[in-house]
Chain A
Amino acid sequence: MSETKKFLYVNRKAPYGTIYALESLEVVLIGAAFEQDVTLAFLDDGVFQLTKGQQTEGIGMKNFSPTFRALGDYDVTKFYVERESLAERGLSEDDLQEIIYEDEDDDYAEKPSIRIVSRAEMAAVMADQDVILSF
């Protein structure tokens, strides 16, 4: 690749009621092969995509939330989750699944991919991107 761009995937919708969360994740997976600087943003109802304990057998759909945990192996390690969006929904960080990556620059130390940020911090992250894909 001639240049590296900053790609932001914006997730604002809940999982399962619509396909946006799943198909957004599919773009991230394919996109990982292009070695760009990838960030995932979860705000508004998008924070629901990362909750623990999703049991989908009763609705006949595949639970795709474990796939988020695989992204660390593809160098997708920046998951920004908005604090205000969590609070508005009565959620805390404890409600979210644990997603970690191994930092090869730090002796493969395990670090959390999820970073809880304020609305203002999220806005700053957004303003720093080259390509913003919304689903």
Chain B
Amino acid sequence: MSTLHTVNKSPFATQTLLSCLGHCQEGDAVLMIEDGVYGALDGSGMSELVKSRAGVVSLYVLGVDAAARGIAPERILSDIKSVDYDGFVDLVAEHDRTQNWL
């Protein structure tokens, strides 16, 4: 049994990503969407924390939201996989429940 977590807020604006990462369990997935994609940036103050969870949960970013915000793929942490809306849907189906961190 696993959970898909989504985070839609920048980790520099609120503690939402921090709280999400603090509550997810092994085997879960975390998908960054909307302004949440800034949590996927390499070389930021959050990068080490995000990378530290990469072994425990699967990390994803909604590619179209990153592109919209001018985040080039090479600026995203290598532990994070980019997906599109189809991938988002697949993640919802694959995990037993969805928890949306607002």
Rounded to whole Å, the gap between the CB of B90 and the closest CB of chain A is: 19
A70-78, A101-109, A126-134 - the one binding chain B = A126-134
Rounded to whole Å, the gap between the CB of B5 and the closest CB of chain A is: 9
11 further A-B contacts with Cβ under 8 Å, apart from A44-B15, A129-B97, A132-B100, are A12-B16, A12-B19, A12-B101, A119-B23, A123-B22, A123-B23, A127-B1, A132-B98, A132-B99, A134-B99, A134-B101
Number of interface residues of B (CB under 8 A): 16
CA distance A99 to B19 in the complex (A): 26
Residue of A44, A119, A126 touching B3 (CB-CB under 8 A): A126
Q: Which residues of chain B have C-beta atoms less than 8 A from A130's C-beta? A: 97
CB <8 Å contact, A131 and B22: no
CA distance A122 to B19 in the complex (A): 11
Q: Is B102 interfacial (CB 8 A cutoff)?
A: yes
Q: Is the interface of A mostly helix, strand, loop or mixed?
A: mixed
Q: Which residues of chain B have C-beta atoms less than 8 A from A126's C-beta? A: 3, 23, 99
Q: Is A10 interfacial (CB 8 A cutoff)?
A: yes
Residue of B22, B24, B97 touching A132 (CB-CB under 8 A): B97
Which A residues between 80 and 105 are near B, CB-CB below 8 angstroms? none
Question: Can you give 9 contacting A-B residue pairs, CB < 8 Å?
Answer: A12-B101, A43-B23, A44-B15, A44-B19, A127-B25, A129-B97, A132-B99, A134-B101, A134-B102
Residue ID in chain B nearest A6 by CB atoms: B97
CB <8 Å contact, B99 and A10: yes
Residue ID in chain B nearest A119 by CB atoms: B22
Rounded to whole Å, the gap between the CB of B15 and the closest CB of chain A is: 7
CB <8 Å contact, A127 and B3: yes
CA distance A126 to B99 in the complex (A): 9
Residue ID in chain A nearest B99 by CB atoms: A132
Rounded to whole Å, the gap between the CB of B99 and the closest CB of chain A is: 5
Q: Which residues of chain A have C-beta atoms less than 8 A from B101's C-beta? A: 12, 134
